[in-house]
Amino acid sequence: MLEMINIAIKTIFIENMVFAFFLGMCSYLAISKNFNAAFGLGLAVIVVELVTIPLNWFLKTYFLEPGALAWLHPSFSAVDLSFLTFLVFIATIASSVQLVEMVVERFFPALYTALGIFLPLITVNCAILGGSLFMDERDYSFGESVFFALGAGIGWFLAIVLFAAVRQKVRYSNVVKPLRGLGLAFIITALLGIAFMGFAGIKL
Amino acid sequence: MMKKLTDSLWNFLQTKVKPHFTKGGKFENLFYLYEAIETFLFLPPEVTHDKPGTHVRDGMNLKRLMIHVVFALIPAMLFGIWNIGHQHYIALGEYVGLSEGLMDKFLVGLKVFLPILIVVMAVGGTIEVLFSVIRKHPVTEGFLVTGPLIALIVPPTIPLWMVAVATAFAVTFGKEIFGGTGMNIVNTALLARAFLFFAYPAHMSGDQVWIYLGEAADRVVDGFSGATPLAVAAEGGYQALKTFSYQSYGFWDMFFGWIPGSIGETSTLAILLGAALLLHTGVADWRIMAGMLLGGIFTAFLFNMFPANEYMALPWYYHLVMGGFAFGLVFMATDPVTSASTFTGKWIYGFIIGVVALIIRVLNPAYPEGVMLAILLGNVTAPLIDHLVIKSYISRRERQVSAIVPSPKTQEPVKESSHA
C-alpha cells in the first residue's frame, strides 16, 4: 500500500507530467488563461486518466501482451497483439473522453462552454496517452496503475492550476510586447519547471 | 552645511541638468536615467495635500523601501566578508583564533567579495537601465537589493563570468521581460542562484567551493576539509557534526556563523540583526517568517519523531542555523513582490516553504540544500494561494450577508450594497 501511495506522490511531484516530461502542453498552454476553465479541465484530465489507465491495463493484460489471450484457449498463448497497443489505447481514450464530455455537457454547461474544443481534444492530450504508455512500459500491476493514474491526473491538475493562477497575476504586469501571450507562457512554464526541479532526485 | 549642500545640489539638478532630459532636451530619451538619480538622492517633491480624503503622508516610496533592505543586509555582508578571510586562514592553519588577524581577514574577504558585487551590479544595472530607457519605464532601485542578494548567496570561489551570466539571465528572464520591479513572479536573486546551481553544479556544491584559497591552495594544512555543515550532517547526522575532524560544527558555531558556506548566509546572528530592522520598519512581513519557521520546525520535528537515518535524527533546532534557512527566511521568502499578499496566504506560503525546504534538504540526496528551491516553489504557488484565500473570503462574506439579508433568490450572489 505504501508503495502505491509512493507511486502517486512520485508522479505528482517528482515526475510531474508537465514539468518533468512536458506532456500535454497544448491544452496546458491554451486553457490556462482563465482560472476556472483551467480548474475544470484539470478535473476532467484527472477523471479521464483514472478511467483510461486502469481500462488500458485490463486490455493490455488480457488481450494485447504476448500470450495474454491464453485465458481464452491454450492454443492462443503464442498470439502477440502488442502491435495493436497504440490503436487500442487511443480508442479507449477517445471513447472515455466522449463519455466525460457528455457528462460535463449535461451537468456543467458553463464549464462545457468555457472549455470548448479542448474538451474533446483531451483525446489527443499527450499526458493521457503518455500515462497509458508509461503504465505499459513500467509494467505496473493493477493497483499500481490506479495510483499512477491518480498521481498523473493530480500532477497535471496541479500544474495547470498553478500556471493559471500565475498567468492571472501576470495579467497586470507590463510584459515586453513581443512576448505577450504564448511567449511569456513558455517562459513561465520554464520557471515553474525550475521550481519543481527541487523534487527531482528524491527516492521514495 | 549639509542643508546648504543638498539645496545647491537640488538647484543644480533642477536648473542645469534636468532641462536636458525633459521633453525637447538633448537627452530626452534618457529621462528615466536622470529621474532614477534624482529620486535616489531626494524625496519626491510632490506631497499629498490636506484635502478631504485619506492620504498616506509618508516619505516611504519604493526606493526608500528597497534601501531599508540594503541596510538590513549590511550585518550579513560585513560578517560574510570577514568569514571569507577567516575560512581562508583556517584552511592555511594561520590566525585560527577568532580575534586574530582581523584586518587581514577583512582584506582577503574584500578581495573576493568586491569583484563579485561589482560584476553583479554592473551587469544587472546595465540591463536594467537598458530596458528602462528603451521601454520608457522608471529605473527602480529593485536591483540595488537584488544585486547584493545575488552576491551574498554564491560561494566565494565562484568564477566572475558565471556570476555575470547568471545575473544577466535572471534579470532579463526573471524580471525585465515581466516589466521590471514589482511585476516578476519569482525572486530574481534566487533565480540567478538556481541558474548557477543547475548550469554549473560543480561550482555550486561539493567540498571544494566554499573556501577561498587563492594562490595559497598548496599550503592547506593536512586533514583540512571544506565540507559545509549540511554536507557533514547529510553524511552522518549529529555525531558527524560533533566529531568533524578539523573544525567543530556546534550549534553556536553555526549560530554565530564561522563556518563555510555561501558568502552571506552563514551567520544566523547577523541575519537576525537584519531581520530586526526589516520587521521594525515593516518592510518584511512577520507572518511569512513565522509561517516558514513553523513549517521548518514542524517538518524537522516529524523527522526527529520517526528517524530513518542519522540525518533525520538531527535535532530540529540545528536545521534553523544550518545552510541558507535563516537567510532565505529573512531576505528571500519575505520579498513582497513574489510572496503571497493576503494575510492568511502569507502563513500558508511561509509554511509550505518551510516544509518543502526541509523535505528537499533531508530527503533529497541530489541537493544538499533545499531552501532556494523551496522558496522558488513558494513563489510560483503564491498566486494560487492568494486566489484561493480571496475566493474563500468572498464566499464567507456572501454567506454572512445572506444570513443577515434573507434573499428570496438564494441562488443569485448577493450584491455588495447591503450594510454588512
Contacts of B366 in chain A (CB under 8 A): 200-202
Q: Are A136 and A10 contacting, i.e. CB atoms less than 8 angstroms apart? A: no
Query: Grid coordinates 480508442 are at which residue?
Result: A91
User: To the nearest whole angstrom, how far is the Cα of B17 from the nearest Cα of chain A?
Assistant: 29
Interface of chain A against chain B, CB under 8 Å?
35, 161-162, 165-166, 168-170, 172-176, 179, 184, 187-188, 191-192, 194-203
Helix pair B142-152, B188-199: axis angle to 10 deg: 40
Contacts of A194 in chain B (CB under 8 A): 186, 191, 194, 198, 376
pLDDT of amino acid B413: 54
Contacts of B178 in chain A (CB under 8 A): 170, 173-175, 184
Sign of CA dihedral B256, B79, B147, B118: negative
Q: Are B376 and B194 contacting, i.e. CB atoms less than 8 angstroms apart? A: yes
B364 and chain A: CB distance < 8 Å anywhere?
Answer: yes
Contacts of A168 in chain B (CB under 8 A): 383, 387
CA distance A1 to A9: 13
Question: Among all residues of chain A, which has the CA nearest to that of B180?
Answer: A174
Q: Are A55 and A96 contacting, i.e. CB atoms less than 8 angstroms apart? A: yes
Kindly give the confidence (pLDDT) of every residue in chain B, 420 residues in length, as a single tens digit, with 9 standing for 90 and above: 778 888 888 888 888 788 888 777 777 777 777 777 777 777 666 665 665 666 666 666 777 788 888 889 999 999 999 999 988 888 888 887 778 888 888 899 999 999 999 999 999 989 988 888 888 877 776 788 889 999 999 999 899 999 999 999 999 999 889 888 888 899 999 999 999 999 998 888 877 788 888 777 777 777 777 778 888 888 777 777 777 656 677 888 888 888 888 888 889 999 999 999 999 988 889 999 999 999 999 999 999 888 888 888 888 888 888 888 999 999 999 988 899 989 999 999 999 999 999 999 888 888 888 899 999 999 999 999 999 999 999 999 999 888 888 665 555 554 554 444
Contacts of B379 in chain A (CB under 8 A): 195
B340 and chain A: CB distance < 8 Å anywhere?
Answer: no
B133 and chain A: CB distance < 8 Å anywhere?
Answer: no
User: To the nearest whole angstrom, how far is the Cα of B187 from the nearest Cα of chain A?
Assistant: 11
Q: Output the CA torsion B199→B189→B373→B393 (10° steps).
A: -150
pLDDT of amino acid B110: 92
User: To the nearest whole angstrom, how far is the Cα of B373 from the nearest Cα of chain A?
Assistant: 5
Average pLDDT of span A93-104: 88
CA distance B230 to B319: 9
Contacts of B194 in chain A (CB under 8 A): 194, 197
Q: Which of B278, B281, B285, B284 is nearest to B60 (CA)?
A: B281
In the 3-class helix/strand/coil scheme, how is chain A assigned residue by residue? CHHHHHHHHHHHHHCCCCCCCCCCHHHHHHCCCCHHHHHHHHHHHHHHHHHHHHHHHHHHHHHHCCCHHHHCCHHHHHCCCHHHHHHHHHHHHHHHHHHHHHHHHHHCHHHHHHHHHHCHHHHHCHHHHHHHHHHHHCCCCHHHHHHHHHHHHHHHHHHHHHHHHHHHHHCCCCCCHHHCCHHHHHHHHHHHHHHHHHHCCCCC
C-alpha grid cell, residue A145:
496503475
Contacts of A169 in chain B (CB under 8 A): 185, 383, 386
User: To the nearest whole angstrom, how far is the Cα of A102 from the nearest Cα of chain B?
Assistant: 25
Residues 6 or more apart whose Cβ sits within 8 Å of residue B342: B385, B386, B389, B390, B393
Helix (H, G, I), strand (E, B) or coil at B1: coil
Angle at A93 between CA A90 and CA A98, to 5 degrees: 125
Q: Are B336 and B183 contacting, i.e. CB atoms less than 8 angstroms apart? A: no
Q: Where are the domains of chain A?
A: 2-195
Q: Are B155 and B201 contacting, i.e. CB atoms less than 8 angstroms apart? A: no
Other CB atoms within 10 Å distance of the CB of residue B138:
15
Which tens digit of pLDDT belongs to each residue from A45-56? 998 899 899 999
Q: What ipTM did this prediction achieve?
A: 0.88
Other CB atoms within 10 Å distance of the CB of residue B36:
19
The beta-carbon neighbor of B177 closest among A165, A176, A197 is A176
pLDDT of amino acid B420: 43
B374 and chain A: CB distance < 8 Å anywhere?
Answer: yes
Which tens digit of pLDDT belongs to each residue from A172-190? 888 888 888 889 999 999 9
pLDDT of amino acid B195: 93
Say if the Cβ atoms of A187 and B173 lie within 8 Å: yes
Q: Are A17 and A7 contacting, i.e. CB atoms less than 8 angstroms apart? A: no
C-alpha grid cell, residue B170:
535572471
Question: Among all residues of chain B, which has the CA nearest to that of A176?
Answer: B177
Contacts of B137 in chain A (CB under 8 A): 174
Q: Output the CA torsion B373→B375→B380→B383 (10° steps).
A: 170
Average pLDDT of span A143-167: 94
User: To the nearest whole angstrom, how far is the Cα of B190 from the nearest Cα of chain A?
Assistant: 10
Other CB atoms within 10 Å distance of the CB of residue A114:
18
pLDDT of amino acid B313: 83
B176 and chain A: CB distance < 8 Å anywhere?
Answer: yes
Structure letter (DSSP) for residue B220:
P
Say if the Cβ atoms of A162 and B380 lie within 8 Å: yes
A:B CB pairs within 8 Å:
93
Q: Where are the domains of chain B?
A: 62-386
Residues 6 or more apart whose Cβ sits within 8 Å of residue A28: A18, A156, A159, A160, A163, A189
CA distance A132 to A126: 10
In the 3-class helix/strand/coil scheme, how is B63-74 assigned residue by residue? HHHHHHHHHHHH
CA distances from B17 to A37, B26, B34, B250 (A): 53, 11, 8, 57
Q: Are A56 and A169 contacting, i.e. CB atoms less than 8 angstroms apart? A: no
Contacts of B169 in chain A (CB under 8 A): none
CA distance B63 to B40: 7
Q: Which of A63, A182, A44 is nearest to A123 (CA)?
A: A44
pLDDT of amino acid B418: 45
